Amino acid sequence: MTKSQYFSKSIINRLKTFAIIALVCSCFLQQALAQKNEMVELKNMIPTIQYDLKYATKNNFTGKRIYPSSTNKTFLVKDAAEALQKVAAELKSMDMGIWVWDAYRPYRATVKFWKLIHDERYVANPEKGSGHNRGIAIDMSIYRLSDGKLIEMPTGFDNFSDTAHHDFMQLPENKIKNRALLKTMMERHGFRSFETEWWHYSWPNNKNYEVLNLSFEKLAKKQ
């Protein structure tokens, strides 16, 4: 073997080793990402949770049904669902429970919203993908376990006026107190509030979670 043959063989061997290491690393990364993106059905984890999935009906701000009408499950990534479980436990000790309007939203639904509304003030631009598409955002309120009724909040769901902003203060005292209760509970367990929608909370580090386009049915089968 000539000197140059020896060197090129040694470079090829090094490249091979490097390729194997890169492959192993990417496998671990993919596995870690898959674990991060594991979606959990909320009622499975939180028996007191109430679903009122507005987008499976026409009773939402678009006036159109966005999800299949049979949709009766909703999901969040495991990290967020576990944090929500702690919120629910705290609320339960106060005779209250979590009320959900929406959580995970398949990407195709965001595209549908965009076609219908096409205004970034009200719906997410599909180019970016939303927290809901990543299974890290939830639209929610609080209800009383004793009578199943929602506690009074500043507005209903998907109200796009200033009254829905967290800093809107021209409200009766009980509505300010209830809005603050939800915010305190959610933030204590790691969620972030959204300035213009008192009902929207998200789990941080959205870049760690993939935008998904899996149907509710498919996700349900994975549980």
Contacting positions for Zn ion (CB under 5 A): 139, 200
**Burial per residue of 23-45, b for 16 or more beta-carbon CB atoms within 10 angstroms, e otherwise:** eeeeeeeeeeeeeebebbbbeee
Interatomic CA distance for residues 94 and 212, integer angstroms: 35
Closer by beta carbon to Zn ion, 52 or else 92: 52
DSSP 33-60: HHHHT-EEEHHHH-TT-EE--GGGSS-S
Nearer to Zn ion, 79 or 102 (CB): 102
Q: How far is the CB of 137 from Zn ion (least distance, A)?
A: 5
Which residue's structure tokens are 């919120």? 87
- Considering the complex, state which of residue 179 and residue 200 has its C-beta at the smaller distance from Zn ion: 200
* Structure-block tokens of residue 136: 């890290």
CB of 132 to Zn ion, least distance (A): 6
CA dist., res. 203 & res. 180, Å (int):
18
**Residue 184: CB minimum distance to Zn ion, A:** 19
| Cβ-based nearer residue to Zn ion, 46 or 137 | 137
Please, which residue, 28 or 160, has the CB nearer to Zn ion?
A: 160
Give residue for tokens 């595209």.
111
- Tokens representing residue 53 in the block: 């999935």
Residue nearest Zn ion, CB atom distance: 200
**Owner of token pair 């200033």:** 162
- 192 strand-pairing partners: 202
Work out how close the CB of 139 gets to Zn ion at its nearest, in angstroms, rounded to a whole number.
4
- Closest distance of CB 105 from Zn ion, Å: 8
